């Protein structure tokens, strides 16, 4: 059963005291690419935040990359996040340092100490996202698409089993969105990394069809469980 990366059973998801999603049930396997869709305010962000430990799971069962979310407290959250990569819509890069320094900062924050190994890892992830020669650049010198690639490289630093991507194409033009989508799908395929991507972009979804989890009416509807035809 080690192929299951995310498992949620009979979970109720709260934002503060508000119940936003009830009786959530789904599993996601190694190397799967899954969309998370739903109108604003239907619980999509709350579900993502629960998966990376920002919101506490109060009711039901869930495990993410082998961590029990019911057993999660502020001391354990950093260990959970070391096994995850999170990609944001607005990049969240440190603007006062170049790409390599951005990545080195994350490695140091997650316990890396050996300079040579850090250097190797940084080169490796930049190579994976097609930015091997751009490590010296400052974020403001890069296009939106390049900054998003840096964000994805950062998410790959600790060889995560799972990447949670929150609207990664939200601020990008259609051509750049395509490049980022191809990159994320390639990462899932080549490295067996599971990707759960929250998006509003149905042009992207139609172009790259995949399994879909939809937040609607306080529920999560799983396209894999809906009979086709």
Q: What is the pLDDT of residues 28-78, one digit of tens each?
A: 999 999 999 999 889 998 999 999 999 999 999 999 999 999 988 888 888
- Is the Cβ–Cβ distance between 35 and 50 less than 8 Å? no
CB atoms closer than 10 angstroms to residue 107: 21
- How does strand 219-222 pair with strand 84-87? unpaired
User: Does residue 88 lie in a domain region?
Assistant: no
Nearest to 90 by CA among 196, 175, 174, 169: 169
- In angstroms, the CA 188 to CA 216 distance is 26
Q: Which residues of the chain have pLDDT under 70?
A: 1-2, 226-229
Q: pTM score, two decimals?
A: 0.91
Average per-residue pLDDT for the chain: 92
Q: Does any domain span residue 110? A: yes
Helices assigned H by DSSP within the chain = 44-51, 77-82, 99-109, 115-128, 144-156, 174-191, 202-207
| 2 and 68 part of one domain | yes
Of the candidates 135, 134, 138, 148, the one whose C-alpha atom is nearest the C-alpha of residue 179 is: 148
Q: Specify whether 138 is located in the same domain as 189.
A: no
Q: What total of structural domains would you count in the chain?
A: 2
Would you say residue 10 lies in a domain?
A: yes
Q: Are 146 and 134 in contact (CB under 8 A)?
A: yes
Q: Is position 107 within any domain?
A: yes
Q: Are residues 43 and 1 in the same domain?
A: yes
152 with 181, same domain: the answer is no
CA distance 217 to 222: 13
The pLDDT of residue 2 is 63
The last residue of one of the domains, among 159, 176, 194, is 159
């Amino acid at each position: 059963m080690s192929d299951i990366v995310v498992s949620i059973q009979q979970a109720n998801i709260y934002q503060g005291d508000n119940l936003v999603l009830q009786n959530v049930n789904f599993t996601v396997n190694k190397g799967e690419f899954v969309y998370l869709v739903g109108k604003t305010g239907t619980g999509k962000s709350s579900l993502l935040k629960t998966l990376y430990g920002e919101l506490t799971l109060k009711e039901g069962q869930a495990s993410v990359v082998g961590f029990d979310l019911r057993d999660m407290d502020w001391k354990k959250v950093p260990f959970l996040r070391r096994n995850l990569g999170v990609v944001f819509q607005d990049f969240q890069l440190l603007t006062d340092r170049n790409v390599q320094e951005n990545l080195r900062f994350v490695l140091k924050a997650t316990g890396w100490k050996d300079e040579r190994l850090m250097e190797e890892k940084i080169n490796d992830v930049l190579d994976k996202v097609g930015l091997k020669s751009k490590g010296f650049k400052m974020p403001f010198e890069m296009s939106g698409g390049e900054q998003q690639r840096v964000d994805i490289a950062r998410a790959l630093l600790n060889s995560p089993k799972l990447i949670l991507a929150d609207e990664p194409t939200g601020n990008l033009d259609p051509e750049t969105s395509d490049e980022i989508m191809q990159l994320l799908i390639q990462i899932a395929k080549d490295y067996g990394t599971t990707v759960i991507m929250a998006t509003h972009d149905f042009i992207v979804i139609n172009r790259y069809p995949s399994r879909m989890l939809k937040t609607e009416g306080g529920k999560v509807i799983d396209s894999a469980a809906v009979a086709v035809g």
